[in-house]
Amino acid sequence: MRAQSSAIAPSRIAVDALQQRSSSFGVVQAALGVTAFSLTFPATAWGLEGFGPWSLVAVRSVLAALIAGGCLLALRVPLPARAHWAGLAVVGAGVVVGFPLLTTLALQTSTTAHAAVVVGLLPLTTAALSALRMGNRPSRTFWTAALAGAAAVVAFTVQQSGGALTGADLYLFAALLVCAAGYTEGGRLARVMPGWQVIGWALVLCAPLGVIGSAVALSYEPVHLTGHSLAGLLWVAAGSQFLGLVVWYRGMAVIGIPKASQLQLAQPLLTLVWSVLLLGEHLTVAAPLTAAAVLVCIAVTQRARG
């Protein structure tokens, strides 16, 4: 019996180490997704220098669908099961069409700092929808830290935008809801199929709508290509719309939707940093203080057990 116990103990240690390593890798993947998403608003602002809002969203979805479709075709990935198509439609409606369109419309009249408010609220919304959709029940410590982090982010981003509400807020709040729904459904599907295939098939599913939208929008909205507008378009198509979502969904599948969503508390702060570097916006000294508070909240949510 002792020999058997001594044999079991190392195997348990190995399993625990493997699980811990997998969890850490999941956190890294989700963090890479957040970094990619943090560039979305500045890249969109660049894209709007040369494209109309409807053209930018439609063309980016077509380009992303071409990348995703090429990968799926090259690897000979079979079609998803019929039971998954409804979920893929939710992902497409939320993260391929809804969120990009609504935030792009908002950024016509809103600064990237003000638009970051929606990202500050997104983790809480995602965790709440996840609890309703998948029966997750995070602990009280988790929710306390999440609320504190969201409050810190919202206070900072609202202060940066002068605290004034604009007509773009309706677009932003609607974008918040549809994106959280897309993240939740995508995270659920990523448990039964690879994350990159989730967003890949969602993009392919929306491709016909994107092609039609591009044809119509480009006929009404003039295009003035510049270096900024082209770089912005390429990033939101390849980086935000495909590669970022690939690592994001894979990370969510490993560490769970609620914990992965809390990593997004850092996204508004990263967006504001990119806004300074790429758009020339000015920030106050409150940035490092808020960043420290958010990092503490992220650490607590990562350790809290549901």
Q: What is the DSSP string of 203-232?
A: HHHHHHHHHHHHHHHHHHS-----HHHHHH
Q: Which residues, in sequence order, are CB contacts of 281 under 8 Å at separation 6+?
A: 111, 112, 113, 272, 275
Least confident of 115-119, 165-169, 170-174, 270-274: 165-169
Mean pLDDT score, 85-97: 93
- Asked whether the beta carbons of 136 and 130 are under 8 A apart, the reply is yes
Lowest-confidence range among 67-71, 228-232, 298-302? 298-302
Rounded distance between C-alpha atoms, residue 170 and residue 176, angstroms:
10
Residue 161 in 3-state DSSP? Answer: coil
Give the model's pLDDT for residue 196.
Answer: 83
Cα–Cα distance measured from residue 134 to residue 190, given in angstroms and rounded to the nearest whole number: 13
Summary count for the chain: helices (H), strands (E): 14, 0
What's 193's DSSP letter? S
pLDDT(64) > 90: yes
Sequence-distant (6+) residues with CB within 8 A of 5 are: none
Please report, rounded to a whole number, the percentage of residues in the chain having pLDDT higher than 70: 87
Residues 10-47: b if buried by 16+ CB within 10 A, e if exposed: eeeeeeeeeeeeeeeebbebbbbbbbbbbbbbbbbbbb
Could you give the count of Cα atoms lying within 13 Å of 272 in the half-sphere of its Cβ?
28
Burial of 125 (0-12, 13-18, 19+ CB in 10 A): buried
Q: Cα Rg for the chain, rounded, in angstroms? A: 20
Question: What are the E-state strand segments in the chain?
Answer: none
DSSP one-letter code for 29: H
Distance CA 32, CA 34 (A): 5
Sequence letter at residue 25: F
CA 187 to chain CA centroid, Å, is: 11
More confident of the two residues 87 and 286: 87
Q: Who's near 131: CB < 8 A, 6+ residues apart?
A: 137, 138, 258
Contacts of 251 (CB under 8 A, 6+ apart): 26, 27, 28, 29, 30, 31, 32, 33, 195, 260, 263
Q: Are 262 and 297 in contact (CB under 8 A)?
A: yes
pLDDT digits 0-9 by tens, 104-131: 999 988 888 778 777 777 877 777 777 7
Q: What's the pLDDT score for residue 149?
A: 80
Specify the pLDDT at position 45: 93
Q: Is the pLDDT of residue 97 over 70?
A: yes
CA-CA distances (angstroms) from residue 143 to 43, 86, 119, 124, 293?
32, 30, 17, 9, 15
pLDDT level of residue 6 (50, 70, 90 thresholds): low
- Round the average pLDDT of the chain to a whole number and report it: 83
The predicted pLDDT at position 302 comes to: 66
State the pLDDT at residue 290.
79
DSSP-based helix, strand, coil % in the chain, nearest 5: 85, 0, 15
pLDDT band at 235 (very low <50, low <70, confident <90, very high): very high
Q: Is the pLDDT of residue 87 over 80?
A: yes
**What is the per-residue DSSP string for 52-110?**
-HHHHHHHHHHHHHHHHHHHHHHTTPPPPPGGGHHHHHHHIIIIIIIHHHHHHHHTTTS
* Pick from 278, 223, 249, 289: nearest CA to 95: 249
